[in-house]
């Protein structure tokens, strides 16, 4: 089992939902203020449960949401609005 950091996976899902283009993991880590190595662990975990998919082009891994990931991200965004 891959251990994921608390708080980072929801940020990844919500950011990817709001961003219409594929983004590489390095840029994504900068956008959500997460260390790249930690980003890799979180992306691997989200990919293993089917919420995101990655495409490797040359040396870069690009992330995008799956249909299941979009649904979860929408629910997380609604929950965030309710809490704040």
Give the E-state strand segments of the chain in sequence order.
23-24, 52-57, 60-65
At 1, is the pLDDT very low, low, confident or very high (cuts 50, 70, 90)?
very low
Gap between the Cα atoms of 37 and 42, Å rounded: 9
pLDDT digits (tens, 9 = 90+) for 8-57: 899 999 999 998 788 899 999 999 998 999 999 999 999 999 999 999 99
Can you give the residue range of the structural domain that contains 68?
Answer: 8-83
> Do the beta carbons of residue 51 and residue 66 sit within 8 Å?
yes
**Is residue 64 one of the residues assigned to a domain?**
yes
**Is residue 17 one of the residues assigned to a domain?**
yes
**Is residue 1 one of the residues assigned to a domain?**
no
What is the model's pTM?
0.83
> How many structural domains comprise the chain?
1
60-65: strand order across its sheet: 23-24, 60-65, 52-57
**Is residue 2 one of the residues assigned to a domain?**
no
**Is residue 45 one of the residues assigned to a domain?**
yes
């Amino acid at each position: 089992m891959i251990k994921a950091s608390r708080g980072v996976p929801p940020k990844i899902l919500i950011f990817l939902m709001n961003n219409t283009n594929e983004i590489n993991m390095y840029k994504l880590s900068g956008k959500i203020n997460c260390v790249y190595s930690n980003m890799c662990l979180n992306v691997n975990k989200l990919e293993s449960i089917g919420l995101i998919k990655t495409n490797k082009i040359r040396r870069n891994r690009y992330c995008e949401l799956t249909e299941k990931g979009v649904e979860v991200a929408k629910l997380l965004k609604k929950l965030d609005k309710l809490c704040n």
